[in-house]
Structure 1
Amino acid sequence: MATQFQRTSTSDRYFAALAVAERRALHSFFDQHIVEDKRLGYFALDEGDYNALPSHLAARVVHTIHGAMSDEF
């Protein structure tokens, strides 16, 4: 059986990661980062998953969306 792979451009991957990060940021206290990866293209990363972003990831951040939730009322 043949498997058909759907190719996506680098910009499509970037905008898909951006959409995920923007949705997450609306409901998070933490910043959402778009990280460039050689194999994956781009992916969204929640800063809350790490105490401090490791340097190997921080060096590959291409865009950051600040968390929109606030605990100050």
Structure 2
Amino acid sequence: MLLVRYFAGARAAAGLPEEKVEAATLGDLIAAITADRPRLAPVLTACSFLVDGASWRDREAALPHTATVDVLPPFAGG
């Protein structure tokens, strides 16, 4: 089971700070977390994903079974 942690605008759109999700790939994860949250889907198009602290872009690559996935919208400032 994956631990998904939401930050900033993704947290607001998801309506919770984190949750556990069963998914094999990032694509599966995105489908699962947006299935009943229509406000979250457009936010995710601008988000970056970290899997156990590493940037993850391949939506079809297998995720580690017990990974932590951070959902990070773009941040302003610097």
Structure 1 length normalisation: TM-score? 0.29
Q: Which has the larger radius of gyration?
A: 1
Relative CO higher for 1 or 2, CA cutoff 8 Å, sep ≥ 6?
A: 2
Structure with the higher helix share, 1 or 2: 1
